[in-house]
Amino acid sequence: MTPENKLWQHVLMQAMIDATFTGDTLENSRAKKASIKWMTKTGKDFHTVCNLAGMDPDFVRESFLAGRVDGELLRSAQGRHKETTL
């Protein structure tokens, strides 16, 4: 896996974190709606990001739609990653 793959995987991870947000702030609510729309529509950008991340766009989308994405687990993993890179 290349550093570029990792970068794009983090972009996907952030989109999933945003899409599964459960709080009530306006900014995060907007990010949630935008992320859900981006991941559920069959757009070129989503496919490009998935391909750059080395992931299958259909699998990523289907996993999200099937509820197999755990936002809390992703947030926790993101926090641990930030701690180790600082």
Summarised one tens digit per residue, pLDDT across range 3-41 is 999 999 999 999 999 999 888 888 888 999 999 999 998
Q: Determine contact, residues 42/58, Cβ cutoff 8 Å.
A: no
Q: Determine contact, residues 36/43, Cβ cutoff 8 Å.
A: no
Number of neighbours of residue 13 by Cβ within 10 angstroms = 17
| Structure confidence by residue, pLDDT tens digits, 46-86 | 999 999 999 999 999 999 999 988 888 888 887 766 555 54
pTM score, whole prediction: 0.81
pLDDT, position 18: 92
What is the Cα–Cα distance from 74 to 78, expressed in whole angstroms?
6
Cα four-point dihedral sign 46, 49, 51, 53: negative
What is the Cα–Cα distance from 18 to 32, expressed in whole angstroms?
5
What is the Cα–Cα distance from 31 to 14, expressed in whole angstroms?
10
Work out the mean pLDDT of the chain and round it to a whole number: 88
